[in-house]
Structure 1
Amino acid sequence: MVAGVQILSKSASQAQAEILTDGALQFLAALHRTFESTRQSLLAAREDAQRRFDSGVPLDFPPETANIRADPTWLCAPPAPGLEDRRVEITGPTERKMVINALNSGAKTFMADFEDSTAPTFANLLNGQVNLRDAIRRQIDFEIAGKKYKLTDKPAVLIVRPRGWHLDEPRVTVDNAPMSGSMFDFALYFYHNAKELVKRGSGPYFYLPKMEHYKEARLWNDIFLFSQSYLGMPHGTVRATVLIETLPAAFQMDEILFELRNHSSGLNCGRWDYIFSAIKKRRADRTAILPDRKDVTMTVGFMDAYVRLLIKTCHRRKVAAMGGMAAQIPIKNDPKANEIAMEKVKADKLREVTYGHDGTWIAHPLIHGIARQVFDEHMLGPNQYHVLREEFNVASSDLLNYSVPGGKVTVEGVHGNIACALAYCAAWLGGNGCVPLNYLMEDAATAEITRVQLWQWVRYGVRDETGQPITVEYIDKLIGEIAPTIKKLVPAATEDHIHITAQYLKGQIRQQWPSEFLTSDLMPYLSAADGVDAKWHKSML
């Protein structure tokens, strides 16, 4: 027992005993007591910023940091061992079999995800920590149903994504307050593995999600400094890649790199969350309505501008500019459809590498060969830091150009958004955060797009291409029709979870403003299932 720390989950397990040791809990408590007040103030600052956006104050590059953007002399840290060449990165949750398959995929790195592709049940989080610990020590091999899973001699380099700053970890409290999910995920991985990783020629590497301000990057940097000192490791051992997946962060790329510069390994185009944020942050602006999500491609104005700015910014500071996710998965029973899907992957990766990206993301091992071939052909060295792209000049108006030529709100788009939101959230409530839907690997980011698009279309009285107004009553009717079909998409979904999700979606389209994150909204159900008393939940829906 550690003074002031409580484990509220009633489902004790072997993983819990192995991971939540006294030493780990003491580290968690130290991080919480040192940094939680800063996290809370930064979350409050997000709310203040949103009120300014709602009042009509436009997003822009911060005037107080103009000198940082203008100064050409500062650079980020050189690539850490194993991060010089990141041409293909595979991502996925931390389930044991998936960890082995991802590490064996041939990709240069594997982003093990505690965030958007993991439903944060306590078992998922703790078992994931056990799996990563075992993978680092080459002790993850296992056999099931006569099939053996074994690591190759040269697995991918491991990078871990903790949850975003907004999420609490309600099953662990320090001094009668829930922990930060970010600090919980980071701290357990760092405490158990940082020294072992260095001993094996690698290091503690991270992907940092959903930041909205450079001061949030400063908080991460302070945590890295504290944690390295706590374990007696040299400062600069940690490396972190930041996902630029919120609209405010796109205006602060230089500043985010500057705050993390001694621990930075670059930026990533988290494009699905970026679309979600682009709608949410301009929720009060009826000129910012977007059409079907399939029409919001990387070539439309605000998406193309953010890519160009990210590449130019990263290469100016000598760090990786990582491309976005290819969410496609192989279509085994339809060769023609599979060929079309794979051509889309190839075209997307060709756009990325010729623009100047240093690597890209995939969601399925069988996509690796396609992405790798494109990058091998067009990126002969380990990266493209030398491609400075000085001709990429991006103004604030470019980042706010939501014009989508030819884009429409269609009947199919409305139906698809409802089906995706219902199916994903029902699966998430059942403990699965990575769901194949219509031959795409969907995570929380795409479900978030569907949720806020439905809200936006209802709020501003949008009509679909047939002239049908998208109203509360119309969406209610469609939810009633689509909900009974969800088990065909997600066979493991329970009727109860589908009902909860349907009611949640109906509530969302009725709100003045959409909730910040569906994961925050639905988290009370997961913690209640873990036996946590309702008094520890921010709300029960």
Structure 2
Amino acid sequence: MPRHTLAANPVSHPHAPYPHHTRRTQDEDTMDQDQYPTGLLDETRLQALRTLERETRTELHALIEARKDLSRTIREGAELEVPAAARHTRDDDAWRVRPHPADLTYRLVELATPATPEHAKGALASGADVWVADLEDMLVPTQARLFAAQRVIQEVATTRSGDPEPGVPTLMVRPRGLHLDEAHFLVDDAPASAALTDTFTFLARCGATLQDNGTGPYVYLPKLETAAEARWWDRTLARMEELLGLPQGCTRVSVLVETVQAVYELEDIVHELRERVTGLAAGRWDYVFSHLRTYGARPDHVLPDRDAFTMNTRFLRTYSDAIVRVCRRRGVQAIGGPIALAAGGPFDESVSMTHARVHRDKAREAAEGFDGAWVLHPALVPVARAPFEERDRHREEGDLPEPARPSGAIDPGALRDVSSLAGSATLTGVRTALRSSLTYLTGWLAGEGTITLAGHVEDFGTVELNRMQLWQWLFHGTRLAEGPTMSERLLDRMLEDEVSLLRRRGGREDLLQLAVTLLRESMVAEEPPAFLYQQAYEALLSVERTGDGDAAVA
């Protein structure tokens, strides 16, 4: 079977390839202007998307079921290991990934923000090397916001050039994860895949334009777990290119390494995507969330407050070392994880301290061998850039040797070793997790994809980590540092205090109550949901259907 042939019910497509232009047709101009994705694609492209959904749906559902099966196996006491099946691939030291495009060879700083007009303007003026236009954890997935995001992305795509220009970011798009549905687009009376819908819409609207401008469509793949999922992405992207008349292999990808399972299969994932992959990025807090989802029910894996441990702890250092090792060995860019700090306003002591913390974190990543790093705020772009530029300058002057091409296997035991973590669970940690989660969820249901709270940039990934930590402490009856034992009674008392505080600050009572229900149910469940985002999405749809207030659906 050819490498780019879909295994799941392949069918021939009746439509001719689309011409390489982005001028809107008369049909496009008369489409509903707030429907996602139907208001963005003409009927020919919509039919192609339906075809693709039908072709890939069975295999995608099987991959999601495989995730659930593995999760059950781990809960029953099994351990994750490096798969033996592809050992010959890992042992082969010769293969390397396809060379990177010119505008993805210099990635010292990547700025990730929601794909909104305001954030796009700030990102393009930030001086970052890459702008990651986010459709996932930072964007509320209402029809209107998804529609507007794709329009913004298209506007930016028309100005991109394949020649790297200092201070002009290269465009990359992060779609939603494989586990999520797009309820606004039904195929055979079932929701389409959100990842498929987001990515196809981006390629259909921008792929040809980006190609004509000498660059290409670049995608960040989130929440990837296995080599089988990477294989699905590779074949699905190839089918998208075929349906849209784009050159095969023009869609280049980077992978966010956010899940525990992905680290065990990292080299296999890179091999499956070897004709497309350009970077591996460390999604640190999503990775900690994945660790909690994987091992949270085990009493020897109870984690302290999230601010009590750093990337130098053994299980996180092993994780980042694994990313750098695979990248160096296979010719991939290693991108460090974002530090969720915000800096802005007048230059006072707090801003100075934020800059110092970011500089230290990026200096550590530069020393470890990362090629660059993410930031979440435009003001931090020059702060994050400085340590990498200094490292590269020393290399050019001969003061630092070029990093060796490493070998050696990942240590599975070190990846799950949290025995030496400093700190403990605290009442302050519980209160902080409740406050940030409720504040964020209430704002998210009203359409706000990111918030800055106590100097931290919070997105949906923050909520996922918070609620899993709270669930774990409650599940194990963890004794907090101040003395009390975590219990449902204590949780409810603290939850009531935080609700009273938020109520005094104003905001919609119905959205606050929805947020409380979502958060509490996820914390007290015997088996917590794998992703709270799915339940929150259902709640968002109910708000969207009622049309009770423009703020909730805009």
TM-score normalised per structure 1: 0.90
Distance of aligned partners of 1:413 and 1:84 in 2 relative to their CA distance in 1, 3 Å threshold: same
1:88-109: CA deviation from partner (whole Å, max 9, x where unpaired): 0000101111112112210000
Aligned to 2:85, what secondary structure does the other structure show?
helix
Does residue 462 of structure 1 match 2:481? no
- How many residue pairs get matched? 509
1:29-54: CA deviation from partner (whole Å, max 9, x where unpaired): 12101111111000000110011001
Distance of aligned partners of 1:207 and 1:302 in 2 relative to their CA distance in 1, 3 Å threshold: same
Deviates more, 1:129-138 or 1:51-60: 129-138
Distance of aligned partners of 1:400 and 1:14 in 2 relative to their CA distance in 1, 3 Å threshold: closer
Q: Which residue of 2 aligns with 1:195?
A: 208
Aligned to 2:338, what secondary structure does the other structure show?
strand
Q: Distance in 2 between matches of 1:455 and 1:313?
A: 33
Amino acid of the residue matched to residue 198 of structure 2? Answer: D
Q: Distance in 2 between matches of 1:47 and 1:441?
A: 31
Q: Quick one: which of 317, 341, 349 aligns to 1:304?
A: 317
Distance apart, 1:332 and its partner CA: 3.2
Q: Quick one: which of 144, 147, 161 aligns to 1:126?
A: 147
Q: Quick one: which of 316, 338, 342 aligns to 2:329?
A: 316
Q: Distance in 1 between matches of 2:259 and 2:374?
A: 18
| Contact 1:92/1:111, CA 8 A, preserved across alignment | yes
Q: Which residue of 2 aligns with 1:443?
A: 459
Q: Which residue of 2 aligns with 1:336?
A: 349
Q: Which residue of 2 aligns with 1:290?
A: 303
Distance of aligned partners of 1:18 and 1:341 in 2 relative to their CA distance in 1, 3 Å threshold: same
Aligned to 1:513, what secondary structure does the other structure show?
coil
| Contact 1:242/1:268, CA 8 A, preserved across alignment | yes
Q: Quick one: which of 505, 511, 518 aligns to 2:525?
A: 511
Aligned to 1:325, what secondary structure does the other structure show?
coil
Does residue 434 of structure 1 match 2:456? no
Distance of aligned partners of 1:243 and 1:257 in 2 relative to their CA distance in 1, 3 Å threshold: same
Distance apart, 1:528 and its partner CA: 2.5
Deviates more, 1:29-38 or 1:40-49: 29-38
Aligned to 1:19, what secondary structure does the other structure show?
coil
Q: Distance in 2 between matches of 1:488 and 1:211?
A: 40
Deviates more, 1:105-114 or 1:425-434: 425-434
Distance apart, 1:529 and its partner CA: 3.1
Distance of aligned partners of 1:389 and 1:344 in 2 relative to their CA distance in 1, 3 Å threshold: farther
Distance apart, 1:532 and its partner CA: 9.1
Q: Quick one: which of 484, 506, 511 aligns to 1:497?
A: 511
The 5 A counterparts of 1:138-153 are 138=159
Distance apart, 1:379 and its partner CA: 2.2
Distance of aligned partners of 1:218 and 1:532 in 2 relative to their CA distance in 1, 3 Å threshold: farther
Aligned to 1:340, what secondary structure does the other structure show?
helix
Aligned to 2:223, what secondary structure does the other structure show?
coil
Distance apart, 1:428 and its partner CA: 1.2
Amino acid of the residue matched to residue 367 of structure 2? Answer: T
Q: Quick one: which of 66, 75, 85 aligns to 1:64?
A: 85
| Contact 2:264/2:410, CA 8 A, preserved across alignment | no
Which of structures 1 and 2 has the larger relative contact order (alpha carbons within 8 angstroms, sep 6+)?
A: 1
Distance apart, 1:231 and its partner CA: 2.3
Does residue 223 of structure 1 match 2:226? no
Q: Which residue of 1 aligns with 2:339?
A: 326
Q: Quick one: which of 59, 82, 93 aligns to 2:103?
A: 82
1:430-450: CA deviation from partner (whole Å, max 9, x where unpaired): 111211111111111111110
Q: Quick one: which of 81, 88, 102 aligns to 2:123?
A: 102
| Contact 1:323/1:359, CA 8 A, preserved across alignment | yes
Q: Which residue of 1 aligns with 2:18?
A: none
| Contact 2:230/2:269, CA 8 A, preserved across alignment | yes
Distance apart, 1:497 and its partner CA: 1.3
Unaligned runs of 5+ in 1: 4-10, 140-151, 534-541
Q: Distance in 2 between matches of 1:247 and 1:389?
A: 24
TM-score normalised per structure 2: 0.88
Q: Quick one: which of 530, 535, 538 aligns to 1:521?
A: 535
Does residue 407 of structure 1 match 2:428? no
Alpha-carbon RMSD: 2.3
Q: Distance in 2 between matches of 1:339 and 1:396?
A: 39
Q: Which residue of 2 aligns with 1:6?
A: none
Q: Which residue of 1 aligns with 2:498?
A: 482
Q: Distance in 1 between matches of 2:180 and 2:136?
A: 10
Distance of aligned partners of 1:488 and 1:81 in 2 relative to their CA distance in 1, 3 Å threshold: farther
Q: Quick one: which of 265, 285, 288 aligns to 1:275?
A: 288
Aligned to 1:379, what secondary structure does the other structure show?
helix
| Contact 1:76/1:317, CA 8 A, preserved across alignment | yes
Q: Distance in 2 between matches of 1:404 and 1:333?
A: 39
Q: Distance in 1 between matches of 2:470 and 2:97?
A: 41
Q: Which residue of 1 aligns with 2:3?
A: none
Distance apart, 1:15 and its partner CA: 6.6
Distance apart, 1:488 and its partner CA: 7.4
| Contact 2:451/2:457, CA 8 A, preserved across alignment | yes
Distance of aligned partners of 1:392 and 1:74 in 2 relative to their CA distance in 1, 3 Å threshold: closer
Q: Which residue of 2 aligns with 1:536?
A: none
Q: Which residue of 1 aligns with 2:23?
A: none
Distance apart, 1:374 and its partner CA: 1.4
Amino acid of the residue matched to residue 159 of structure 1? Answer: M
Q: Quick one: which of 22, 33, 38 aligns to 1:13?
A: 33
Aligned to 1:326, what secondary structure does the other structure show?
coil
Distance apart, 1:328 and its partner CA: 1.2
| Contact 2:89/2:268, CA 8 A, preserved across alignment | yes
| Contact 1:472/1:509, CA 8 A, preserved across alignment | no
Q: Which residue of 2 aligns with 1:177?
A: 190
Distance apart, 1:18 and its partner CA: 4.9
| Contact 1:257/1:266, CA 8 A, preserved across alignment | no
Distance apart, 1:233 and its partner CA: 2.5
1:49-108: CA deviation from partner (whole Å, max 9, x where unpaired): 011001100011111121121111111111113100000000010111111211221000
Q: Distance in 2 between matches of 1:83 and 1:153?
A: 13
Q: Distance in 1 between matches of 2:466 and 2:351?
A: 24
